[in-house]
């Protein structure tokens, strides 16, 4: 460890995501690993950003965010979920990433425990640790059999046991990356009950709320007794296919919003002004159009295509209820770890995927699976399909035939 490196960052190496991306580039692999679209975002949203720049919305925005965007967020959540928030309860952040980090720093004291469902999105634990908190993990287990409503589940007793006097917060990501799980009403009700019982803050990461193929999205903040203890986090990058703009937000009642803004004002202060104006236009236009329905159709088509491709190769898949990721089962494929499989896939087959063990505190305990992203053009998925055919020869059942 270099002498100039602070202790709080000692535990954080370069993530497997960076390694896989570099490998994909080196081998010109078709990249189904990272979770971002390989197609253009909507033209009218890009035009709105250009217009905002030309209209000279180019100085610092108000620290909490451009009022028109905060109001558009309020109108969006009211229209979609009946959530009655005000613009004073919305804070615009540098993507959901800053929203998560600012929220954690704003509410977690040193020694506090924060419950995470594992597999956990990779920024959660580092945020908790940098705040001096302690992550407590509750496992999500993959379904035993493949079926369209097969869901990852958690043991309610394990969740109950994770709550205790030191619990300060729980992070709930629904729809869930990487599993594609959409938490059910009953599961969310249990989480809410435990939060109320133990006076715990809920951090609801809902960045994939518009990508739900089975079931429905239920914001945790709308459950009884939850509004006052919930920070809802979302990102326009996912919804409008422009992850590089990094326009995210929090919705939270005044005491929590006040705490979040205290971090936000000294970390980023304010977010790029013209992109905030453009996202206000995007959200407002979507309110009065079929944008979200079309987005869902668009992703459903790609989901179904990728599921067909992966099944055709011989993988057992867990059809995702939400998000733009699919997990496949690697047991019996002859790879010791998911990292070994993903390296092979990238270097020998020419397709990149993510090893989900990166989402586990103890990677060796992860189920043997791989995550593919379908936020890609049909042509990209078809090109990947062609390459993946080379894998079919290794398929467990067919491998026997060739032996």
Ligand X SMILES: Cc1ncc(COP(=O)(O)O)c(C=O)c1O
* Contact residues: ligand X, CB under 6 A: 35, 95-97, 121, 173, 177, 205, 207, 235, 237, 243, 246, 248
The residue with its CB nearest to ligand X is 95
Looking at the Cβ atoms of 238 and 388, the one nearer to ligand X is 238
Q: Which is nearer to ligand X, 233 or 368 (CB)?
A: 233
Both tokens of residue 261?
């803004």
In terms of CB distance, is 120 or 381 closer to ligand X? 120
Handedness of CA 196, 198, 203, 204 (dihedral sign): negative
Return d(Cα 275, Cα 51) in angstroms, integer: 10
Q: How far is the CB of 15 from ligand X (least distance, A)?
A: 12
- For residue 199, the minimal CB distance to ligand X (Å) is 25
Strands 247-251 and 230-235, how do they pair? antiparallel
If residue 31 lies in a helix (H) or strand (E), which one and from where to where? strand 30-31
CB of 248 to ligand X, least distance (A): 4
Q: Which is nearer to ligand X, 120 or 286 (CB)?
A: 120
36 vs 298 by CB, closer to ligand X: 36
The total of other beta-carbon atoms located within 10 Å of residue 137's CB is 18
Q: How far is the CB of 255 from ligand X (least distance, A)?
A: 24
- Closest contact distance (angstroms) between CB of 238 and ligand X is 7
Tokens (6 digits) for 39: 């197609």
Instruction: Give the span between the Cα atoms of 273 and 57, in whole angstroms.
Output: 6
Nearer to ligand X, 180 or 248 (CB): 248
Decide whether 127 or 350 has the Cβ nearer to ligand X.
127
- Cα distance from N-terminal residue to C-terminal residue, the chain: 48
Rg of the chain over Cα atoms, rounded to whole angstroms, equals 21
Q: Minimum distance from CB of 37 to ligand X (Å)? A: 11
Give least dist CB 95 to ligand X, A. 2
Structure letter (DSSP) for residue 36:
S
CB 26 to ligand X: min, Å: 23
Tokens of 157: 């007793």
Q: Which residues of 375-394 are buried (b: 16+ CB within 10 A; e: fewer)?
A: bbeeebbeebbeebeebeeb
CB of 325 to ligand X, least distance (A): 9
- The alpha carbon of residue 15 and the mean position of all alpha carbons in its chain are separated, in whole angstroms, by 16
Taking the C-alpha atoms of residue 371 and residue 65, their distance in angstroms, rounded to an integer, is 34
Nearer to ligand X, 135 or 314 (CB): 135
Q: Among positive and negative, which fits the CA dihedral 282, 283, 285, 291?
A: positive
Q: How many residues does the chain have?
A: 403
Give the residue with the Cβ less far from ligand X, 211 or 226.
Answer: 211
Judged by beta carbon, residue 135 or residue 237, the one nearer ligand X is 237
Kindly tell me which of 243 and 273 has the beta carbon lying closer to ligand X: 243
Q: What is the smallest separation between the CB atom of 102 and ligand X, expressed in angstroms?
A: 12
Please, what is the minimum distance in Å from the beta carbon of residue 323 to ligand X? Answer: 8
Can you list the positions of beta strands (E) in 192-266? Answer: 201-205, 230-235, 247-251
């Amino acid at each position: 460890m270099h002498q100039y490196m602070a202790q709080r960052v000692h535990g954080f190496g370069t993530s497997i995501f960076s390694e896989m991306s570099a490998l994909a580039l080196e081998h010109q692999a078709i990249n189904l690993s990272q979770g971002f679209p390989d197609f253009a975002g909507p033209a009218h949203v890009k035009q709105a950003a250009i217009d905002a720049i030309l209209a000279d919305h180019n100085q610092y925005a108000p620290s909490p965010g451009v009022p028109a965007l905060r109001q558009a967020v309020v109108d969006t959540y009211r229209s979609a979920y009946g959530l009655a928030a005000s613009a004073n309860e919305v804070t615009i952040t540098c993507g959901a990433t800053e929203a998560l980090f600012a929220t954690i720093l704003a509410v977690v004291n040193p020694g506090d425990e924060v419950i995470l469902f594992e597999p956990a999105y990779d920024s959660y634990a580092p945020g908790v640790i940098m705040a001096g908190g302690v992550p407590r993990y509750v496992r999500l287990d993959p379904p035993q059999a493949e079926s369209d409503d097969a869901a990852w589940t958690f043991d309610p007793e394990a969740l109950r046991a994770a709550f205790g006097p030191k619990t300060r917060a729980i992070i709930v990501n629904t729809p869930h990356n990487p599993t594609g799980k959409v938490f059910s009403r009953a599961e969310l009700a249990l989480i809410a009950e435990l939060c109320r019982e133990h006076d715990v803050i809920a951090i609801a990461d809902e960045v994939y709320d518009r990508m739900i193929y089975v079931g429905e999205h239920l914001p945790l903040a709308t459950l009884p007794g939850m509004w006052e203890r919930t920070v809802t986090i979302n990102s326009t990058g996912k919804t409008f296919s422009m992850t590089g703009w990094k326009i995210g937000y929090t919705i939270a009642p005044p005491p929590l919003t006040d705490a979040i803004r205290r971090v936000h004002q000294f970390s980023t202060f304010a977010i790029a002004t013209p992109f905030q104006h453009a996202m206000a236009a995007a959200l407002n236009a979507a309110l009065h159009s079929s944008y979200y329905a079309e987005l869902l159709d668009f992703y459903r088509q790609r989901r179904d295509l990728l599921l067909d491709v992966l099944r055709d190769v011989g993988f057992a898949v867990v059809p995702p209820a939400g998000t733009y990721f699919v997990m496949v089962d690697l047991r019996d494929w002859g790879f010791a770890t998911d990292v070994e499989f993903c390296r092979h896939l990238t270097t020998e087959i020419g397709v990149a995927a993510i090893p989900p063990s990166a989402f586990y505190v103890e990677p060796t305990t992860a189920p043997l699976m791989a995550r593919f992203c379908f936020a890609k053009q049909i042509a990209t998925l078809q090109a990947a399909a062609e390459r993946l055919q080379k894998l079919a020869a290794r398929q467990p059942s067919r491998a026997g035939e060739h032996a």
